[in-house]
């Protein structure tokens, strides 16, 4: 099955940085310079990663000027006027108060708390929120958990929703990574998607980011849009490369049933591209961006050296994280917990949380099969792939061998690659014999990963095969 992926809905349904020592709960409000990280010490720490206290927080700011035709996220549409100010909008003020109340009411069930290493403001369009209100959220996070001085603090921003002064205000607050939602470089495609911005605003936004000297910024693109051609896609990729972002996210359009696109279109039928055309778009992106010096480090993500999104790596490594806000989700102690998607229900949830009548965590035991399935699914989305040695230690040699044997035909076809401890490719001809001997497998194979781009294109099918092995 051809790849269909979008980060935000994936995070929502599962529930997408630097160094931080453990600190006492009595000094949680310190904005700390971090020098070593829990994750870096994990190899010598017997506690599984998913049981460690989170060092990442996702903040959902749901406000948009209008709903895009492909969007099924929980949002609040404020109005699409380019010149409209929302500095005193009571909807935003009241919501930010709710977020801060939720953060303050969050239970602290760990013995020690490292400060947050990543904070991600997603949406919605967070750049519509006044900087003073973003500051309130950051101050609340610092007071509750602590935030590293060198934390990666990301904000999604749409063209036409900020000027240079507003961006500078965000940067002064500590935002140091911008994710710019461009989506396309053709006026007709932006209109077809229902985007609130046009091409003029795209170029203005890029110029503002450059003028403010944002050193770490990402650009989002969407492929497989209605009426999109390979020429259009090639132009968008080249103009993205010309803009020189340090990171690029490329999402294949996913048509959701409760959206305008879901009413108008059927996947694979005109005016949407066919499966083979969508695959071609994906291959074009991989070739163009890797040729331009971007590392394809995750199915939808490309980065220049040193600029991988540290917050999203939290998800791909299956480590714990907090989620706050409408429809957001947390992953704590190996269990996922989602907030209500409707504003009234979310407000009730926060009030109940404060009064001890609601939980901010899922209760129950972690099923090892579910955890194994999560690890395989998330690992195979990345260029690093699945750490077979670690998987064997956690879940047993028999399961690891069964998984590898299930992938044997795909190793032979080149869709699945086996790597040694130094990440050198093991020839497929040699791999076949290893898959019949657990001792040889453990000795020789350290990682399995999907080939780029052909293996990534088959990721849904290959992950489904893994599920059949680890969680039948």
Q: What is the CATH number of the domain that holds 102?
A: 3.80.30.20
Separation between Cα atoms, residue 252 and residue 299, nearest integer Å: 10
Radius of gyration over alpha carbons of the chain, in Å?
Answer: 22
Residue 101 placed within a domain: yes
Separation between Cα atoms, residue 157 and residue 167, nearest integer Å: 9
Residue 326 placed within a domain: no
Residue 333 placed within a domain: no
Task: Let me know whether 291 and 413 are in one domain.
Answer: no
Beta-bridge mates of residue 56: 118
Q: Considering only 162-171, 205-214, 229-238, 387-396, which range has the smallest mean pLDDT? A: 387-396
pLDDT value, residue 325: 98
Separation between Cα atoms, residue 85 and residue 98, nearest integer Å: 21
Q: Which domain holds residue 312?
A: 7-316
Whether residue 294 is predicted with pLDDT greater than 80 in this model: the reply is yes
- This prediction has a pTM of 0.90
Separation between Cα atoms, residue 227 and residue 230, nearest integer Å: 10
Segment 183-190 mean pLDDT: 97
Task: Let me know whether 303 and 373 are in one domain.
Answer: no
DSSP 300: T
* Cβ contact 193:185 at 8 Å: no
Distance spanning both ends of the chain, measured CA to CA: 20
Number of helices (H) and strands (E) in the chain: give both, helices first: 19, 16
Domain's final residue, options 316, 342, 358: 316
Task: Let me know whether 257 and 171 are in one domain.
Answer: yes
Domain's final residue, options 246, 281, 316: 316
Separation between Cα atoms, residue 426 and residue 404, nearest integer Å: 14
pLDDT value, residue 46: 55
Task: Let me know whether 229 and 372 are in one domain.
Answer: no
Task: Let me know whether 98 and 244 are in one domain.
Answer: yes
Residue 18 placed within a domain: yes
Residue 330 placed within a domain: no
CB burial of 315-352 (b: ≥16 within 10 Å; e: otherwise) equals: bbbbbbbbbbbbbbbbbbbbbbbebebebeebbebbee
Task: Let me know whether 13 and 125 are in one domain.
Answer: yes
Token pair, residue 438, equals 């657990």
CATH number, domain of 391, equals 1.10.10
Domains identified in the chain, total number: 2
Q: Considering only 103-117, 218-232, 280-294, which range has the smallest mean pLDDT? A: 103-117
* Cβ contact 142:31 at 8 Å: yes
* Cβ contact 350:319 at 8 Å: no
pLDDT confidence of 8, banded at 50, 70, 90? very low
More confident of the two residues 30 and 433: 433
Task: Let me know whether 264 and 405 are in one domain.
Answer: no
Task: Let me know whether 72 and 204 are in one domain.
Answer: yes
pLDDT confidence of 83, banded at 50, 70, 90? low
pLDDT confidence of 84, banded at 50, 70, 90? low
pLDDT value, residue 34: 65
Closest to 237 (Cα-Cα) out of 254, 251, 252, 221: 221
Separation between Cα atoms, residue 134 and residue 145, nearest integer Å: 16
DSSP 187: H
Domain's final residue, options 295, 316, 337: 316
Residue 429 placed within a domain: yes
pLDDT confidence of 32, banded at 50, 70, 90? low
Task: Let me know whether 382 and 241 are in one domain.
Answer: no
If you average pLDDT over every residue of the chain, what do you get? Answer: 88
Whether residue 445 is predicted with pLDDT greater than 80 in this model: the reply is yes
pLDDT confidence of 29, banded at 50, 70, 90? very low
Task: Let me know whether 296 and 376 are in one domain.
Answer: no
Whether residue 99 is predicted with pLDDT greater than 50 in this model: the reply is yes
Question: What dihedral angle (degrees, nearest 10) is formed by the CA atoms of 281, 285, 287, 289?
Answer: 170
Task: Let me know whether 63 and 178 are in one domain.
Answer: yes
Residue 382 placed within a domain: yes
Task: Let me know whether 278 and 372 are in one domain.
Answer: no
Whether residue 104 is predicted with pLDDT greater than 70 in this model: the reply is yes
pLDDT value, residue 85: 67
Residue 306 placed within a domain: yes
Closest to 10 (Cα-Cα) out of 369, 459, 465, 470: 459
Residues 6+ positions from 361 with CB-CB distance below 8 Å:
107, 109, 330, 332, 333, 335, 337
């Amino acid at each position: 099955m051809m790849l269909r992926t979008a980060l935000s809905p994936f995070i929502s349904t599962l529930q997408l940085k630097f160094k931080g020592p453990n600190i006492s709960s009595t000094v949680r409000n310190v904005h700390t310079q971090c020098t070593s990280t829990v994750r870096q010490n994990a190899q010598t720490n017997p506690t599984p990663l998913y049981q460690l206290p989170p060092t990442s927080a996702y903040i959902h700011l749901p406000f948009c000027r209008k709903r895009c035709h492909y969007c099924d996220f929980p949002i609040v549409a404020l109005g699409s006027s380019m010149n409209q100010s929302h500095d005193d909008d009571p909807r935003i003020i009241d919501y930010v108060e709710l977020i801060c109340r939720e953060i303050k009411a969050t239970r602290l069930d760990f013995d020690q708390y490292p400060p947050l290493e990543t904070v991600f403001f997603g949406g919605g369009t967070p750049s519509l929120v006044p900087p003073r209100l973003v500051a309130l959220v950051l101050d609340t996070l610092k007071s509750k958990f602590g935030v590293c001085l060198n934390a990666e603090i990301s904000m999604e921003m749409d063209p036409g929703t900020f000027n240079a002064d507003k961006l500078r205000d965000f940067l002064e607050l500590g935002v140091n990574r911008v994710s710019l939602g461009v989506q396309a470089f053709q006026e007709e495609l932006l209109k077809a998607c229902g985007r609130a911005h046009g091409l003029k605003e795209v170029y203005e936004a890029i110029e503002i980011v450059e003028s403010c000297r944002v050193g770490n910024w990402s650009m989002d693109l969407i492929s497989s849009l209605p009426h999109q051609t390979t020429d259009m896609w090639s132009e968008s990729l080249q103009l993205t490369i010309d803009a020189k972002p340090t990171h690029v996210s490329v999402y294949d359009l996913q048509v959701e049933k409760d959206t305008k696109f879901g009413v108008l279109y059927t996947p694979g039928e005109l005016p949407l591209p066919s499966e083979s055309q969508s695959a071609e778009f994906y291959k074009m992106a991989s070739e163009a961006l890797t040729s331009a010096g971007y590392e394809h480090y995750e199915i939808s993500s490309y980065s220049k050296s040193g600029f991988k999104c540290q917050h999203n790596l939290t998800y791909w490594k299956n480590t714990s994280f907090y989620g706050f806000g409408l429809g957001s989700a947390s992953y704590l102690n190996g269990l996922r917990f989602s907030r209500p998607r409707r504003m009234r229900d979310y407000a009730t949830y926060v009030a109940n949380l404060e009064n001890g009548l609601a939980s901010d965590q899922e209760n129950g035991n972690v099923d090892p099969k579910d955890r194994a399935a999560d690890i395989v699914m998330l690992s195979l989305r990345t260029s690093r792939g699945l750490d077979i040695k670690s998987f064997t230690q956690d879940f047993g040699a028999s399961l690891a061998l069964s998984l590898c044997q299930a992938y044997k035909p795909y190793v032979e076809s080149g869709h699945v690659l086996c790597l040694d401890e130094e990440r050198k490719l093991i020839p497929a001809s040699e791999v076949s014999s290893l898959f019949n001997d657990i001792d040889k497998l453990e000795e020789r194979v350290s990682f399995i990963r999907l080939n780029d781009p052909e293996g990534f294109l088959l990721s849904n099918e290959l992950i489904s095969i893994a599920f059949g092995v680890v969680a039948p």
